[in-house]
Structure 1
Amino acid sequence: MPMCTCKPEGKVNACPETKEAWEARAEAKRAGCHYEEVYHCLSDKDGNKWEKCLQKTLILQGNCPIITSDGYLDWRACDSSDSSCPNHSYVSDEVYKFSLCFGHNFHANQTSGSIRDSAVEDSSPGVIIGVVFTNLLIIGAAILAFLIIRRRLRKKRFVYHKNEKTAQEGLLSDVKVVGVARKKTVSKGVHLLLKENVHSICIIGQYGNSVFSTSSFILKKFANWKNWKAQQFLFTDVPDCVEEKTVMKVYGWFGTWNDDLCSLDTVKMVCQKLENVLDDVSDVKLVIEMSSDKYHKYRMELEPFRKLFMNEISLDGCYADEENLQHFKKIQRSCKHKKCPCKRLTFDMLHHGNDRYVGMPLKINIIAKHHDRTLIRNYIENQDILRVMTEHFTALETKENMKEVYEWISYICLKGQFSTSEALDQDLMATWDFGIQKDDFVKNDNLKDFFQLKPSNMETGDLSVYAFWHPFIYICAFHSLFQKDEIRVVESCNIDAIVELVRPEGSNKSYIEVSANAECANRFSERLRRLNLVDKYNAHPLFQCNHIS
């Protein structure tokens, strides 16, 4: 039986280099393209050619579109001294005008066989022997390298199992937990901003759906492309003056962790400020990041500022399920414990659990970063990531050698963050009987599982503030503390967290909010009076529900 060599789907020998040939292939492939996608034929980084259905993208002068290993459209610079390098901007499905972008483009009448035959004819026996000998050396070296690597890996696995300690330690030694930025959305966002008539884009998505990382990638990639200045601001910190050639990301709308219910006037004021910046300063672009629940809740109130929100990009929906699935499988493969309950955890459990408020990328990253057997077993049983992480934090207080970690979790939850330049709050430590020290972060590696250093100033980028690695992890810590002692929480926790996460008993509350009884609401109202914050928060239901005169 003759051997059949099958090409990967979409791989071709050559791309069409004329308008007529391109349109003929596009017509033949049109049935396989959906929505805004059109036929493309592009090279990858190795020079292979691929036919794919992709959204049209603006490619700037001096660049060629390429296809990534994940099947997305990207671009790279070409040699501007070459006359075939694009000398003006163009749409990605017009790349046929620039043959340089295809590299070596082998057409049907110039098969690999004919090229090989020609090369053999022109080669002397000595050259052929030299080529064969060189190839044998390369093959031998590759085999030797493979054997060495395999031996090292086996040794590494043996040492790992020999030194295996607890179920919590070392489960994910080779997985780096990062934000799952949506590559396709990043490309779409960048190319929207590149349009002259687009001055602002709005990235929305559910909690934990890679909204922050996706918007950050858009900001950085656009800034690098245009050689502009990139800035990031909490919405309450937006400056009055912005320099030309600046792309600015604004985040944290309506609250850091949740809706504080008293920020709408501030939001409107900031929106007006941003519109003024766009009107008064040329060459300024905005990337607005907002959770989809807040965006839809306040859509009518934001309507007067439509200029800021008209170019909406949503991360919600099922189109990224495959990307999330592959990320989840990577987590499972990386766990070396054959009896770890993560082997019984399924993607469907994560996808259809009782925690649909939380995006899949975040749930997967939590399972990776806090890969504890008890935690995973609890998730399989309850399928509620908030409940499971809350119980996980609560259990740390009595767990051997973890009391210091628990106290730091509690301290940073109460303060909101911890600046390395500030002294510890001695009053707070006395109230909660904490025994922590500032140098614990140097001595205790377990703290790195829960916190990360963040810039105190986005302008300078100086890493000097410890905060939870994700706002949702903060929320879980808050739930744990609130269950332990809600009175002490409302009397000593930072005000922002209370107004964003606490609602009066009997009122509607969301998945991440907690309910406070009448005594709790009373204590909070008294605290607002002491701090002269009644005018700011007198419309908050937690203040309005009590009857203290």
Structure 2
Amino acid sequence: MVIICIVLKRRRQTPNGASRFPRTEDDDCELGKLIENPEYVRNGIHQLKSRNILYVIGQLGNSVSTSGKKITEEYAKNHIMSYEYHNYLDISRRFSNLCSEKVFKLNCVNFIDGWGGLWNENPCERHDTLNTIKKVVEQSQTIENKKFVIGIRTEIKDNLNCKLKALVIHMKENESLLLDSISTYKRQTLMEEIKLLQNSCSERDCGCKSLNLEQVSGIHQEPIGTYLVVKLMGLDHTMIPEFLLREVGPLKAMSNHFERLMERENIWSWLPYFVCLGYYDEEEFRPEIADGFYISNAMLSSYESIEKYVKRIQIQNLVPMWSTTFCCDPDVENKEKNEREVCVFRHNFLYICAFHACFKKYPKQILLFCNLDAILQLVRPKGYLDQLTIEADDIEVNFFCEERLKNLAKDNVLLEHPLIKDWKIGKKKKIKALGQYSKMVR
């Protein structure tokens, strides 16, 4: 699953005619090299032979999507079936618009991911997530020539588990492929990746030289996989010591890195615009967002320094990433058949870290201008923090609800979010206190 993006209607050209963003290997492909393990793939294919559903479960960065797609494709080829990849939001829409039997093709293996949210679970979508999983499970139990591979993050599965059991949905051990454990193959591959990272560095005293698998495997501050940890360390070796500090961990280390880039390098001053909009179109500058951060169009004209953090995809692949209800840009829906390319962060975790850095510096502007998907997934009031979210204080919660949601506050789905729940409770308490005070004055 992926991702915040910069839309490029025309690729910027360097003097020699080459694209400013040369085609680099897709991050999924890079991770795919690590997990193209016959052990994982064979196990998944074997499990799928005797049942119609397989759950591929793992932490962010443990190649859930790559593994699930590989199993889906290989099983389909081996059994003369077609295969398709879906985001759960697309499937949810189809269940709303079609009779259940027509949502999926016959003789097809379907991989579905994106459950709960693009970056983190959105409480507003929990009911929809549960309802869609239930309908997919029902399809797997009643229609023999349809197969389903469900890719789901460990923490989202844990959050949904009790409610799934209430719906009599159990992700049984013989229906699940767990990617978080360290196998012999995985250890060997990770050691090779660490060695590659070290060999690519010419600095004799760099922190990467003493890096080892035990240190990387010992990082448990955030729910991200060891493959991703190694990839992040490779972006800037100066971050390695901070990554390894148990009191810091990957999320804080990467967020601190983005904060320093914004302070030190003027080229990164546009990062809040990037985070807020979700994509950057060179020909459609959005002053209503940029003005909130004192960002000019000229600041967005050069961004070579971010090349190692990004990759390119077609804009039509952006469409299923966004929530159908809270997409920050309604025009995204009109881009489904557009094949021009967009530039995206290499991994969702990079967006999460950039969001944290920008929220810390500009909390009110982010709450006012940022796409609602990100806010609802990544911001919580006091007492509701999880491993990927950031805490808003009472003043910020009140500002968000009264300024940003004034036209949406009556939406019943939004009322499921802790930010709105706490705000409603706070308002009721204030009204009650004011009433009591009025009686005393009388």
Give TM class, smaller chain.
Answer: 0.7 to 0.9
Counterpart of 1:404 in structure 2 is 267
Cα distance per residue 1:101-120 (max 9 Å; x no partner)? xxxxxxxxxxxxxxxxxxxx
- Cα distance between partner residues in 2 of 1:469 and 1:389: 14
- Cα distance between partner residues in 2 of 1:462 and 1:257: 24
Residues 257 and 191 of structure 1, relative CA distance in 2, 3 Å threshold: same
Corresponding residue to 2:344 among 467, 491, 505: 467
Shift of 1:545: 1.6
Across the two proteins, how many residue pairs are aligned to each other? Answer: 365
Counterpart of 1:213 in structure 2 is 66
Counterpart of 1:365 in structure 2 is 231
Counterpart of 1:452 in structure 2 is 311
Q: Which has the higher helix share?
A: 2
Q: TM-score, normalised by structure 2?
A: 0.74
Instruction: Give the secondary-structure state (helix, strand or coil) at the position aligned to 1:512.
Output: coil
Matches within 5 A, 1:73-472: 177-179=30-32, 180-181=34-35, 183=37, 184-193=39-48, 195=49, 197-238=50-91, 239-240=94-95, 241-275=103-137, 277-278=139-140, 282-303=144-165, 304=167, 306=169, 311-319=175-183, 320-353=186-219, 355=221, 357-368=223-234, 370-373=235-238, 375-380=239-244, 384-400=249-265, 403-407=266-270, 409-418=271-280, 423-436=284-297, 440=301, 444-458=303-317, 462=339, 464-472=341-349
Shift of 1:481: 0.6
**1:446 counterpart letter in structure 2:** S
Shift of 1:454: 2.7
Shift of 1:532: 5.0
Shift of 1:483: 0.7
- Cα distance between partner residues in 2 of 1:492 and 1:301: 33
Residues 523 and 472 of structure 1, relative CA distance in 2, 3 Å threshold: same
Residues 254 and 511 of structure 1, relative CA distance in 2, 3 Å threshold: same
**2:295 counterpart letter in structure 1:** F
- Cα distance between partner residues in 1 of 2:203 and 2:83: 43
Contiguous gaps of at least 5 residues in structure 1: 1-172
- Cα distance between partner residues in 2 of 1:314 and 1:510: 22
- Cα distance between partner residues in 2 of 1:437 and 1:248: 44
Instruction: Give the secondary-structure state (helix, strand or coil) at the position aligned to 2:211.
Output: coil
Corresponding residue to 2:386 among 510, 513, 519: 510
- Cα distance between partner residues in 1 of 2:110 and 2:394: 43
Cα distance per residue 1:55-80 (max 9 Å; x no partner)? xxxxxxxxxxxxxxxxxxxxxxxxxx
Instruction: Give the secondary-structure state (helix, strand or coil) at the position aligned to 1:453.
Output: strand
Aligned-residue RMSD, C-alpha: 3.0
1:520 and 2:396 are equivalent in the alignment: yes
Fraction of identical pairs, as percent = 22
Shift of 1:536: 1.5
Cα distance per residue 1:325-358 (max 9 Å; x no partner)? 2222222123233232211333322222352532
Shift of 1:302: 1.6
Asked if the contact 2:409–2:415 (Cα under 8 Å) also holds between the matched residues in 1, the reply is no
Shift of 1:323: 2.6
**Larger deviation, residues 409-418 vs 456-465:** 456-465
Contiguous gaps of at least 5 residues in structure 2: 1-24, 96-102, 318-335, 429-442
Residues 244 and 367 of structure 1, relative CA distance in 2, 3 Å threshold: same
Instruction: Give the secondary-structure state (helix, strand or coil) at the position aligned to 1:477.
Output: helix
Shift of 1:281: 5.2
Counterpart of 2:438 in structure 1 is none
Corresponding residue to 1:489 among 366, 383, 393: 366
